Amino acid sequence: MSELTLHNVSFHYGDGSLALQSIEMNLKSGERIALVGPNGAGKTSLLMAIAGLIKYSGDVLIDGVRLSDKSKHEIRKKMSFVFQNPDEMLFMPTVMEDVCFGLDSLGLSAEAANAAARAALSAVSLSDFEGRSAHHLSYGERRRVTLATVLARQSTLTLFDEPTRELDPFGRRQFIDLFQGMAGTMILATHDLELVLETCPRMILLDAGRIITQGDPRTILADAALMKAHRLEVPHSLSTHPHGHY
């Protein structure tokens, strides 16, 4: 599983405003960390920087190798980035081709790629949809296909951007079950605070491009004043003064 280090990473938007400010971060192999913060905090920008999709200043090191234009192709072979919107990741004519996409650049032969894709689709219970196009699938099913792409790649570092967004409770539960069974170092950017409590032993609170604090979600998310200061809310399950009850 991959180790991740960020050192003094900063990023400015096109108009000059600051998206990320001197971010320092360390993830050990196999760690799961949640990225929490209000809208505009820079969560997506941080994930994009780690993926090498934006031009930032500072250093991103994955397994000790510094991310650069030269090294990013090799490094990306270990990574998966699950976008907020599954339609942006599933662009091939069939679901099978979506899951197979890019497996050849990992060095897999066509047969090996097909086998890996089949296994991955089976793991997310979507084997019957192999030959279908993604638009035939429901939103929740499309989300599961994006998970299948991660499984097929056997990534050691996976980035998730709002993975439970717009999922109904059943779909959300399906995601959590699958997520808990997945291996690798994971970063989860999310507003779903209960998800954080359930799946991530560590979290980072981000606001205005800066890391406010990091540590145990059960402590951080229970701090009502801190939550309020950053446009968040203490999750219901941690709340000693229920927000409202019937």
Partner 1 sequence: MNHGFLEDHAFLNSPVHRLSPKSKLSAVFLMLTLILILTHLFQPALSIQIMFALAGILAVFTFLSRVPLRFLLLRSSLVLPFSGFVILVNSLSGTMDPFQILLVLTRSILSVFTILLLISTTPFQQILTQLSRWKFPGLLVMVIAFMYRYFFVLAKEIKSLEKGVGMRSSKLGGWQRMKTYANILGMLLIRSYERSERIHQAMEMRGFSEESL
Residue 25 bridge partners (DSSP): 6
Residue 241 structure tokens: 């003064």
Phi/psi at 126 (nearest 5 deg)? -125, 25
The single residue among 9, 134, 167, 176 that binds partner 1, judged by CB under 8 A, is: 134
Residue 231 within binding range of partner 1, rule CB under 8 A: no
How far apart, in whole angstroms, are the C-alpha atoms of residue 63 and residue 223?
Answer: 34
Select from 11-19, 28-36, 88-96, 162-170 the region that touches partner 1 (CB under 8 A): 88-96
In angstroms, rounded to a whole number, what is the distance separating the alpha carbons of residues 109 and 96?
A: 15
Structure tokens at 196: 């954080």
The answer to whether 101 contacts partner 1 (rule: CB under 8 A) is yes
| By CB under 8 A, residue 166 contacts partner 1 | no
- Least distance (Å) between residue 70 CB and partner 1: 13
Min separation Cβ 148 and partner 1, Å: 13
93, 125, 219, 233: residue in contact with partner 1 (rule CB under 8 A): 93
Smallest gap from residue 178 Cβ to partner 1 (A): 19
User: In this structure, is the dihedral angle defined by the CA atoms of residues 164, 117, 152 and 66, taken in order, positive or negative?
Assistant: negative
The residues pairing with 65 across neighbouring beta strands, listed in sequence order, are 62
For 139, the token pair is 């939103």
CB of 94 to partner 1, least distance (A): 6
CB 162 within 8 A of CB 180: no
| DSSP assignment letter at 67 | P
Nearer to partner 1, 184 or 217 (CB): 184
Q: Minimum distance between the CB of residue 117 and partner 1, rounded to whole angstroms?
A: 12
Place of tokens 């994955």: 62
Q: Select from 2, 80, 156, 185 the one that contacts partner 1 (CB under 8 A).
A: 80
**Residue numbers of the site for partner 1 (CB under 8 A)?**
51, 53, 73, 76-77, 79-81, 83, 85, 87-89, 91-94, 101-102, 104-106, 131-138, 149, 153
